[in-house]
Amino acid sequence: MPDEFIVKLESCNQVLLTTHEQPDADGVGSILGLAWRLRGLGKKFRLVVTPRLPGFLNFLDPEKWIEPFDADIHKNIAAWPDCWVLADASELSRLGPLKDSFLASKAAKLCIDHHLPGDDAGAFDIVILNSGASSTCELVTQTLGISMEMPLPMAQALYAGLVDDTGSFRFPCTSARAHKIAAALLERGVKPDAVHRELYNQATPAKMRIAGLAFERMQLHCNERLAVMTVSLADMESVGAIHEDLEGLVNKPMELRAVEVSAIIYEKLNSGVKVSMRSKSRVNVNAVCRSFGGGGHRLASGATLSGDIASALESVVPVTIARIEQDLGL
């Protein structure tokens, strides 16, 4: 598939590059990596993210190519591209408000992703789906060719996604191939300390304070194998935090010796709650999130639920405990 993907991409003239809602470094790095290649070929391209590029990722887009989704500006976006790429997601629901335009578009539809396959692979003409890859940036780099020439911002964007999705080269997805690709990107001049600083040392006091509230209220279940944090909109307001400040918080309880699974449940802006889960290695949290209509990876998944935090706790905690007991043979 990689050849077919790249041949198609490079034969098109107006390419729309998109990723999942609430984009992370891997999604953003992937579309920027592809955009730099298209720029080298003199193609037209646009990058649209929903709702916007988080501030801490601005450094990845020095040319300011990324447009925040705007219902007015993008109401006819379906007609613009002759090729529409979705990177770092393969389920159409993750397109958020762009989903209807995607379905209506006559463009060739390409997908490149490393999540576990969902039900929407048939919506694309060409799919590169490899859940064995550490990150979509790894797949993009490999697909474009590890030895290709690249300008520094391109290498930096791809490196940032690789760093973030491997937990700075700590998670089980950190393969020898991931390190080889990282090495190739460093050879293009990427400064690892600068990327780390931009990605992880940008916290505001509000981010620390909302983490403090979440830790204080953390529940432990199943002999401390399950940690659950909850954050309401009122909590965020009380310390002046925004949703971006919750990024990465779910990983912190993994530092507890006994914890196998960490979950955070937080209220979304309009309605409903988001559940985000991490597993140390033995428990399949994808199975848990999938049973609530979500998805992701075996060790990192999420789901969106209607209702409030209390009802989410009531439904999610018992299912998670049952999965822990099953996967650990308790």
Which residues here bind Mn ion, judged by CB under 5 A?
A: 26, 88, 136, 165
Nearer CB in complex with Mn ion: 164/198: 164
Shortest gap between Cβ of 130 and Mn ion (angstroms)? Answer: 11
Q: What does the angle CA 134 – CA 136 – CA 137 come to, to the nearest 5 degrees?
A: 95
Q: Is the separation of the CB atoms in 99 and 70 below 8 Å?
A: no
Q: How many CB atoms lie within 10 A of CB 1?
A: 13
Measured from the CB of residue 23, what is the shortest distance to Mn ion in angstroms?
A: 10
| Residue 173 CB, nearest approach to Mn ion (Å) | 10
The residue among 89 and 263 lying less far from Mn ion, judged by its C-beta, is: 89
- 136 vs 286, which CB is nearer to Mn ion? 136
Return the number of the residue (124 or 171) whose C-beta is nearest Mn ion. Answer: 171
Q: For 2-116, where are the E strands, in sequence order? A: 14-19, 44-49, 66-68, 83-87, 108-113
The least distance separating Mn ion from the CB of residue 166, rounded to whole angstroms, comes to: 10
Tell me the angle at which helices 136-144 and 152-165 cross, rounded to the nearest 10 degrees: 140
Helix or strand run (H / E) with residue 296: strand 295-296
| The residue type at 293 | G
Residue in 179, 90, 140 with CA at minimum distance from that of residue 171: 179
- List, edge to edge, every strand of the sheet that includes 126-129: 66-68, 44-49, 14-19, 83-87, 108-113, 126-129
Residue number with CB closer to Mn ion (164 or 235): 164
Nearer to Mn ion, 273 or 300 (CB): 300
Give the residue at shortest CB distance from Mn ion.
Answer: 26
Judged by CB, which is closer to Mn ion: 221, or 298? 298
Residue 13 DSSP symbol = S
* Closest distance of CB 137 from Mn ion, Å: 8
List of long-range contacts for 66-72, beta carbons under 8 Å, 24+ apart: 66/28, 66/31, 66/32, 69/96, 69/97, 69/98, 71/97
Virtual torsion, Cα 265, 268, 272, 278, nearest 10 deg: -30
